[in-house]
A and B are shown apart, each in its own frame.
Chain A
Amino acid sequence: MKLTVWTYEGPPHVGAMRVATAMKGLHYVLHAPQGDTYADLLFTMIERRNHRPPVTYTTFQARDLGSDTAQLFKTACLEAYDRFQPQALIVGSSCTAELIQDDPGGMSETLGLPIPVVPLELPSYQRKENFGADETFFQLVRALARPMDRTARPTANLIGPTALGFRHRDDITEVTALLEEMGISVNVCAPYGATPGDLTDLGAAHFNVLMYPETGESACRWMERELGQPFTKTVPIGVGATRDFVEEVAKLAGVEPKIDSERLRLPWYSASVDSTYLTGKRVFIFGDGTHVAAAARIARDEMGFEVAGLGCYNREMARPIRALARDYGVEPLITDDYLEVEAAIETVAPELILGTQMERHIGKRLGIPCAVISAPVHVQDFPARYSPQMGIEGANVIFDTWVHPLVMGLEEHLLTMFREDFEFHDEAGPSHHGGKAKPRIEAEEPQMPGSVEVVWLPAAEKELKKIPFFVRGKAKRNTETFAAERGTREISVETLYEAKAHYAR
């Protein structure tokens, strides 16, 4: 058993729902008890979809258990087919139905429905949402896609976008535009917007664009093997990655690499003197593997930040994220326990967090600015406006999103310069954030727990307060560690600066 409050990912059948809801003409019959329909509201409320997810739940109850839950399942399948007339059906169990060991696959076979019925095996007690989406889409592609003649002109499939995906809607538009620029059209985009009929045409494309490895990699590998379609390995998030992606696509399609960077503003904005204050700002990056990897590259190479820590919650991406962390010279954090993430962030004491909605709340608790780069996200990150992460416009969106929560350069300068001033004291906070202005509090700072054995002399404490507030916590801890290591019991101004010199790089 594992004690859990927050979960980064839902159970695998929610992943299957993400595929089913993204598609059209597909229906999912889910063997599940009353209550599992809660997942519908993720789609109708967070993503604000205007239709119910195409899922029929068997809603078995305690009194059904002894008798015939199997019959219930069969009836649900037949009624769903009659009512919705789908082109294909997927069937499977939720965590509870997995325990009662009815066999949805076997049962649906005996029904003799005139459409493809794809059974799903989703181990609820081992795997999670992303696996569920990846596996479901893979099974659908395996069941429906066939080898066929390639289109005359170069075409590509877009693979991986699903319902409830972070900015999937707009990324599709952006990537489609990137491809069109090079004269490549999109054959099928799937699962987002595709029908089962469309999946049978996947084989006509010359290659696949793997947009999100978490939800599309298994299908791409299968298509590479069975249909001879290579797939792209670069995810075009950020300027550098977009350029690499264009090169990679050009090679796969046998065309000239071409990119219309007229609308690209990130490089100039980042180079302009206004951004100088961003240099070396320490960021902590957490989320799904794909978005973290992309964010790390942008943070270091395109924004001039220092990556102070990175990690992901999906074990499927543990290996590439570990390798990446080595490159960046930081400890990788592979965990789905938010308490570990919180502890890591506290230790690293970054000036900016890039993460999920969980990290946003951690940031709020610790008083560290945060921008959201990955699912899980709440309703505000399914915006009405166009806001991709991929491609040219994605880079522009990312620049704005990441810079926004930071204290602006001039403001930071003023806060440091007039630290003793009654209006610009540290607790006043940045002017563009909510919250009422707080008057300066003259009271002594309480001693931090655990620092009792080392005493700060008044002069040193005063000096400490002159350090900008966003690094003060770290300075304080460093100095205390430095003092403790040397057996110093009292911290003077001298000790403070010795520690500063010691930790300087």
Chain B
Amino acid sequence: MTDRFAPPPATGCRNTPVLKERGQHEVFCGLTGIVWLHRKMQDAFFLVVGSRTCAHLLQSAAGVMIFAEPRFATAILEETDLAGLADAQEELDRVVHELLARRPDIRQLFLVGSCPSEVIKLDLAKAAERLSAAHAPRVRVLNYSGSGIETTFTQGEDACLAAMVPVLPKTEARELLLVGALPDVVEEQALSLLDAIGVGPVRVLPAQTKDSEYGIGPNTVFALTQPFLGDTHAELTRRGARHIPAPMPFGEEGTTRFLEAIAAEFGIGPEVVARVTEGPRARAREAVRKVAEPLWGKRVFFFPDSQLEIPLARFLARECGMEPVEVGTPFLHREIMGPELDLLPEGPRLSEGQDVDKQLARVREDRPDLTVCGLGLANPLEAEGLATKWAIELVFTPVHFYEQAADLASLFARPLRRSRALAFEEADT
């Protein structure tokens, strides 16, 4: 049987020294999380309290989604709001009342802090409390910060989920909590696999609506489906819940090990997981084999973006035969990333934080076959002859669990297939 995976490398990357850099960051701020969170939480509205820059960022990041009556908006601070802070609280009340009158379907309202609102120390926590009282019980108002001075890209989701944990009711029930916003189709696959293995009851955070929420307590155990949930991890632990350390469910191996860790917590052996997942595992393996051919033996370089970089590098290295050269992450949470670092073969440079110009110098020096980076860097690097995979797509596309393993591999294979397919006499730029 070639059913099991290659054994973990003798020395993984857990003890690899990490290059820590400060300087210009070429990343999104946490506000961007709103773009996918509002699709997931169907009765929630995200109100950013910020500047025109924040509104413009959301518009640019959300692309055409902005035209689909989205459940997010920006309360743009004006000159008068900056003059006196008492004013700002009253103004906020007015804007929220208007908004809730126009959208009576909204049950949860998030006041999302931005750089300007944090710098002028506009107290959104107090505002949320006051507005919650005013609109209870129909609407719950919470707050979190998605500001760039505090959060990077996917950390916005972390801040949002962490803000929801303290208001969940208390329970003694023995329940599994899956933490991380997943596309509906992926969430359903995960739930049905866990059900078949015999794990239950299972809850998800974020829940689809406020009414489908549940309790948290000392018998709750939770697993993270996304690597960027450090603060949520801390908040859940504070409520007495216990974390199940596991690799992230990317690729066949990640998914299987993820399920095995959860099963073990519920006293279910790996042979049960193996039996239940035999079909999907074979499908995933076969599908990945088909699409990953262009990736074999190729060198990959990750710019920091979403904290997904380490699990993705692990998947590419172990299941697609790639060689990671540098794996950059905006933030490295040792405890959560431990199981991933154990599996990632020693070799790549690990970097945390960013000084983008220095990193660009390294990528030019390394000349990897594939560079995973943001949209501000992708075309300029392509013009220098480096094939790129733009990273944001990895957050928006369903990529977790077995059925998406090949989609995940093909996201990386596509730019390489394309550069093979295009044949010009001379490169015109």
Seen from chain A, the residues whose Cβ lies within 8 Å of a Cβ on chain B are 1-7, 9-11, 13-14, 33-42, 44-45, 48-52, 56-62, 64-65, 76, 79, 83, 94-96, 99-100, 123-126, 128, 361, 378
Contact = CB atoms under 8 A, between A and B. Distances in A.
B116 A99 contact: yes
B52 interface: yes
A50 B148 contact: no
A57 B24 contact: yes
A33 B30 CA distance: 12
B132 interface: no
> Which among A13, A44, A45, A378 has the greatest number of chain B C-beta atoms within 10 A?
A44
Given A5-B66, A50-B429, A45 B357 contact: no
Closest 4 CB pairs of A and B: A35-B29, A35-B148, A40-B376, A50-B383
Contact of B150 (A2, A39, A62): A62
A76 B375 CA distance: 23
Interface stretch (B87-95, B186-194, B209-217, B272-280): B87-95
Nearest to A45: B375
Interface residues of B, number: 62
A32 B94 CA distance: 30
A35 B57 contact: yes
Contact of A35 (B31, B70, B88, B92): B31
A57 B98 CA distance: 36
Contacts of A4: 52, 55, 73-76
A76 B82 CA distance: 28
Given A3-B73, A33-B147, A34-B148, 13 more contacts: A1-B77, A2-B76, A5-B74, A35-B28, A35-B30, A37-B24, A40-B377, A50-B379, A59-B23, A62-B118, A95-B51, A96-B148, A126-B78
12 contacts: A4-B52, A5-B59, A10-B52, A33-B29, A33-B115, A33-B149, A34-B152, A35-B148, A40-B375, A44-B379, A45-B379, A128-B52
A45 to B, nearest CB: 5
Contact of A33 (B79, B148, B376): B148
Nearest to B81: A1
A5 B35 CA distance: 12
A1 B116 contact: no
A36 B53 contact: yes
B152 A52 contact: no
Contacts of B31: 35
Nearest to B375: A41
B379 A48 contact: yes
B375 A95 contact: no
B26 interface: yes
A7 B56 contact: yes
Contacts of A36: 29, 53, 57, 148
Interface in B32-85: 32, 49, 51-53, 55-57, 59-61, 64, 66-67, 70, 72-79, 81-82
B32 to A, nearest CB: 8
Nearest to B78: A125
Contacts of B285: none
Most chain A CB atoms below 10 A, which of B72, B74, B99, B378: B74
B93 to A, nearest CB: 10
A1 B78 contact: yes
Contacts of A5: 55, 59, 66, 70, 72-74
Of listed B30, B374, B376, residue having the most chain A CB within 10 A: B376
Contacts of A95: 51-53, 115-116
Contacts of B119: 65, 96, 99-100
B165 interface: no
B25 interface: yes
Given A62-B150, A361-B67, A96 B115 contact: yes
B131 interface: no
Contacts of B115: 33, 35, 95-96
Contacts of B429: 50
Contacts of A2: 75-76, 78
Contact of B357 (A11, A58, A64, A83): A83
A96 B52 contact: no
B24 A58 contact: yes
B116 A41 contact: no
B185 interface: no
Given A5-B70, A6-B66, A62-B149, A124 B52 contact: yes
Interface string B162-173: 000000000000
B149 A60 contact: yes
Given A125-B51, A125-B79, A59 B376 contact: no
A1 B82 contact: no
Interface string B333-355: 00000000000000000000000
A367 to B, nearest CB: 15
Contacts of A48: 379
B421 interface: no
Interface of B: 23-32, 49, 51-53, 55-57, 59-61, 64, 66-67, 70, 72-79, 81-82, 88, 91-92, 94-95, 98-99, 115-116, 118-120, 147-150, 152, 357, 374-380, 382-383, 429
B427 to A, nearest CB: 11
A142 B194 CA distance: 68
A35 B41 CA distance: 24
Given A3-B95, A5-B66, A125 B82 contact: yes
A129 B191 CA distance: 47
Contact of B51 (A11, A34, A57): A11
Given A34-B29, A34-B149, A95-B53, A125 B379 contact: no
Contact of A1 (B64, B91, B152, B378): B91
B92 A44 contact: no
A184 to B, nearest CB: 31
* Residue in A5, A34, A48, A59 with the greatest tally of chain B CB atoms within 10 Å: A34
B60 A42 contact: yes
Q: Which of B55, B76, B149 has the most CB atoms of chain A within a 10 A radius of its CB?
A: B149
B146 to A, nearest CB: 9
A96 B120 CA distance: 9
Contacts of B25: 34, 37, 57, 59
Nearest to B361: A83
A41 B60 contact: yes
Contact of B52 (A7, A35, A37, A65): A7
Contacts of A76: 24
Nearest to B115: A96
B392 to A, nearest CB: 9
B379 A49 contact: yes
Nearest to B29: A35
A50 B388 CA distance: 13
Nearest to A50: B383
A441 to B, nearest CB: 25
B377 A52 contact: yes
Nearest to A58: B24
A494 to B, nearest CB: 40
B95 A1 contact: yes
B149 A38 contact: no
B53 A94 contact: yes
A40 B376 CA distance: 5
A208 B132 CA distance: 59
Contacts of A96: 51, 53, 115-116, 119, 148-149
Contact of A50 (B23, B374, B380): B380
A100 B118 CA distance: 11
A7 B59 contact: yes
Nearest to A376: B59
B56 A14 contact: yes
B73 A10 contact: no
A14 B23 CA distance: 21
A126 B25 CA distance: 27
Contacts of B56: 7, 10-11, 14, 39
Nearest to B98: A3
A94 B53 CA distance: 8
A49 B98 CA distance: 41
Nearest to B102: A3
